[in-house]
Amino acid sequence: MQIIIRPTSEIAALLTARLIAEALTAKPDLVLGLATGRTMERVYADLARRHLDHGLDFSSCRTFNLDEYVGIAPEDPNSYRHYMNRHLFERVNIDLRNTHVPNGVASDLAAECARYERAILACGGIDLQLLGIGTDGHIGFNEPLASLRSRTRVEILTSATRRQNAGMFSGDPERVPPCALTMGVGTILDSRRCLMLATGSEKTDILAKAVEGPITAMIPASALQMHPDSTIIVDETAATGLRGADYCRTIFNTAPAWAAYR
């Protein structure tokens, strides 16, 4: 696990976008796992800018989103499909047929989850999975106590998550759907590379627990400690609680692999 600390949330987001852009350039048919949420908006804005200004090519890219609310149709402005179309897909040259978001209004949700797992496998698995972290330690919508080997399934959201996401639902946590479809922690760990972005003071405590605490189902993000190729990009504010922050800075400032990014 590599933890990269950048001075501001903006610089952290730009580094995240750059790493994605480089992965896409190196492998034009990249299978990219995507996340939604406020933290990702800057990442997608910068990817769109790279497409516009530098011709970053998404035409062969395949994408799989982590999650979708149950009961929210794709055309609903609160759906994650709508979020992705607005923030990224409509702004780059991706073929919408190559973009995948779980269907939260499928008549058989268990069958939809199984179909989603099969679709990921049919594409050869996820090359690079982008992740945020919830204030309760969730990744995707894998809430505390999610099995670390879980697969795509229906998850009941915690009150912390419904509060965190209330902004999209007129600020009322009660209007946030109670359930979501989410890739499992095991599905995420199967990705060849994981890239998490965590910024801001509301992530300080949970970030320290996730990366420096014990691996526990109570903090699904802590499972990334077991992933052979995971990078966590954070800003100085989110890094405040890290005991190993100085060592993380030393790695970024001295490791040849990061020389081009300093």
Which residues are at the interface with ligand F6R (CB under 6 A)?
35-39, 66-67, 80, 132-134, 138-140
Of 143, 155, 227, 235, catalytic: 143
Nearer to ligand F6R among residue 87 and residue 138 (C-beta): 138
Residue with tokens 């992965």: 23
Active-site residue 190, yes or no? no
Nearer to ligand F6R among residue 3 and residue 133 (C-beta): 133
- Nearest distance in Å: CB 123, ligand F6R: 19
Nearer to ligand F6R among residue 24 and residue 197 (C-beta): 197
- Nearest distance in Å: CB 229, ligand F6R: 19
The strand ranges marked E within the chain are: 2-6, 31-34, 62-65, 67-69, 99-100, 128-131, 153-156, 179-182, 193-198, 230-235
Nearest Cα residue to 65 out of 39, 90, 98: 98
Q: Distance between CA 201 and CA 95 in Å, rounded?
A: 37
Residue with tokens 């996820």: 126
Active-site residue 67, yes or no? yes
Active-site residue 51, yes or no? no
- Nearest distance in Å: CB 182, ligand F6R: 8
Of 46, 68, 112, 136, catalytic: 136
Active-site residue 174, yes or no? no
Nearest Cα residue to 183 out of 173, 168, 194: 194
- Nearest distance in Å: CB 210, ligand F6R: 12
Of 138, 155, 227, 235, catalytic: 138
Q: Distance between CA 75 and CA 81 in Å, rounded?
A: 7
Nearer to ligand F6R among residue 67 and residue 112 (C-beta): 67
Q: Distance between CA 241 and CA 170 in Å, rounded?
A: 32
Q: Distance between CA 81 and CA 58 in Å, rounded?
A: 17
Of 46, 67, 127, 155, catalytic: 67
Catalytic residue numbers read: 67, 136, 138, 143
